[in-house]
Amino acid sequence: MTLKIAFQGEPGAYSHQACVEARPDYTPMPCATFEDVIEAVRSKTADLAMLPVENSTYGRVADIHRLLPESGLHIVEEAFLRVRICLMAPPGVALSDIQHVRAHLVLIPQCRNFLAENNITSEASADSAGAAAHLAETREKGVGALASELAAQTYGLDVVARDIEDHHKNTTRFLIMARSPDLSRRGSGKMITSFVFRVRNLPAALYKAMGGFATNGVNMTKLESYMVDGQFTATQFYADIEGHPDDENVKRALEELDHFTHSITVLGVYPADPQRD
């Protein structure tokens, strides 16, 4: 039986690379949208979903926090991917031959210094791996693409220059999601618990809700808010904490949180990726 892991984007996308690195024994399955990724797992077309949630340079991925609670899926693992950008071109093309590149709008500014030094102009594309695929098909003269090395391998392009990003710590965090939760402790390292909650409409409700984590010594590594149901007054919070729900201090903190919230939904309990530190 072939196990599949779904991702958003074209083959060769960074999400594809994350699948290859985190689940080398699974077959990556490209999907057009995040919603399609989630539906592929819900419908059992795929076994796991690989979803990007935040980037160290550009912050959280748009819409993903809204989709996670509604997905019906559960976080079972996190994966961190260093974003290494390659300049690629059809075989036989040298760096000096390239005057223009295409890539996703987010990728181009990350290579501003390299492009300026080599007098290369740029153009935004809907998808970096898609730009590589288009270049492999058209073989436009003087044109290159910015994407992952996996994209170059996928579409038969030559890597003209590697690691051309201005900042060499750019990293994307992904969540691996499944149909069933896994609340077991895995490994000897830290565990992460992710959940969403809505506070009651009371003065200082959020402040009081957070107090339980401080008094119980629970480290909260992420807290983000976003509107729900199109209302400015309806706010949901997404949080990551270090620890397992069975830990006494985590249990007490969540019990205190419950006093000041309308709802708490645990999205997943999973090992902290070593790259988190």
pLDDT, tens digit, 9 for 90 and up, residues 128-149: 999 999 999 999 999 999 999 9
* DSSP-derived 3-state class of residue 34: helix
Q: Please state, in angstroms and rounded to a whole number, the distance separating the CA atoms of residues 132 and 154.
A: 9
Enumerate residues 6+ apart whose C-beta is below 8 A from 13: 7, 30, 127, 128, 129, 147, 148, 151
Instruction: Please name the CATH architecture into which domain 191-276 falls.
Output: 2-Layer Sandwich (3.30)
Residue of 134, 141, 140 lying closest to 155 (CA atoms): 134
Residue 64 has pLDDT above 60, yes or no: yes
| Mean of pLDDT over the chain | 93
The fold of 4-82+170-178 is: D-Maltodextrin-Binding Protein; domain 2 (3.40.190)
User: Out of 7, 34, 114, 174, which one is annotated catalytic?
Assistant: 174
% pLDDT > 70, the chain = 97
What CATH code is assigned to 86-161? 3.40.190.10
Domain spans, the chain: 4-82+170-178, 86-161, 191-276
Cα R_g (the chain), whole angstroms: 21
Report the distance separating Cα 129 and Cα 271, nearest Å. 30
Give the residue among 228, 244, 230 at the shortest CA–CA distance from 196. 228
In the annotation, is 7 catalytic?
no
pLDDT at 233 over 70: no
The model's pLDDT over 266-276, given as tens digits with 9 standing for 90+, comes to: 999 999 998 88
- Is the pLDDT assigned to residue 213 strictly greater than 70? yes
pLDDT band at 265 (very low <50, low <70, confident <90, very high): very high
Burial 9-42 (b: 16+ CB within 10 A, else e): bbbbbbbbbbbeebbeebebbbbeebebbbbbbe
- Residue 229: pLDDT band by 50, 70, 90 thresholds? low
Q: What distance in Å separates the CA atoms of residue 135 and residue 112, rounded to the nearest whole number?
A: 21
Predicted structure pTM score? 0.91
> Is 176 buried (19+), middle (13-18) or exposed (0-12) by CB count in 10 A?
buried
- Give the torsion sign (CA, 222, 223, 224, 228): positive
CA 142 to each of CA 88, 95, 151: distance values in angstroms, whole numbers, following the listed order: 11, 9, 19
Residue 76: what pLDDT?
98
- Per-residue pLDDT reduced to its tens digit, 149-177: 999 999 999 999 999 999 888 899 999 99
d(CA 80, CA 274): 9
Q: Of the residues 154, 172, 193, 261, which is catalytic?
A: 172
Would you state the pLDDT for residue 232? 60
Q: Do domains 4-82+170-178 and 86-161 have the same CATH topology?
A: yes
195 included as an active-site residue: no
Angle between helices 64-71 and 34-42 (to 10 degrees): 10
What tokens does 49 get?
């979903």
Q: Fill in the amino acid letter for 259.
A: H
